[in-house]
Amino acid sequence: MTISSVSGSSSYASSSASDTASLEKQLAKYIAELKELAASKEDAKTKQVKMQQLQLQIQQIQTQIAQKQSNASSSSAQQDNNSKKDVNAAKLGVNVAETEGSIDISI
């Protein structure tokens, strides 16, 4: 009897965390630029255009961060589910192998 599991999400989660940290640094940079621009003495029209561009970039980065955090949560939940399946299979003394579109169970 063989009990095997596939778990590749831990490397994805750590990669996602570093990506998120990088995005958060960019976000902080754009927010600082936005504050500097707000305090600058540029003409109103130029200032408005630049502020809109920075606000758009900030929104895009915030969206990317939210997506990465959501993906990391989903990945972690999937890994937890896989672990629970492995433990339950071990208790029952069965081998459960999942492939795309099917589940093979052998006793």
d(CA 78, CA 72): 10
Q: 20-44 as b/e, with b when 16 or more CB fall inside 10 Å?
A: beebeeebeebeebbeebeeeeeee
Closest CA to 30 of 66, 5, 59: 59
Name the residue range of residue 87's domain.
9-106
44 within domain boundaries: yes
Q: What does the pLDDT read at residue 96? A: 53
pLDDT at 106: 57
Count of domains for the chain: 1
Residue 71 lies in a domain: yes
Residue 3 lies in a domain: no
pLDDT at res. 35? 93
Q: Are 52 and 59 in contact (CB under 8 A)?
A: no
Q: Flag whether 100 is in a domain.
A: yes
Q: Whole-angstrom Cα distance, residue 33 to residue 100?
A: 47
Cβ(96)–Cβ(85) below 8 Å: yes
Residues of the chain with pLDDT under 70: 1-16, 76-107
Query: Does the residue 83 lie in any domain?
Result: yes
Is 4 a domain residue?
no
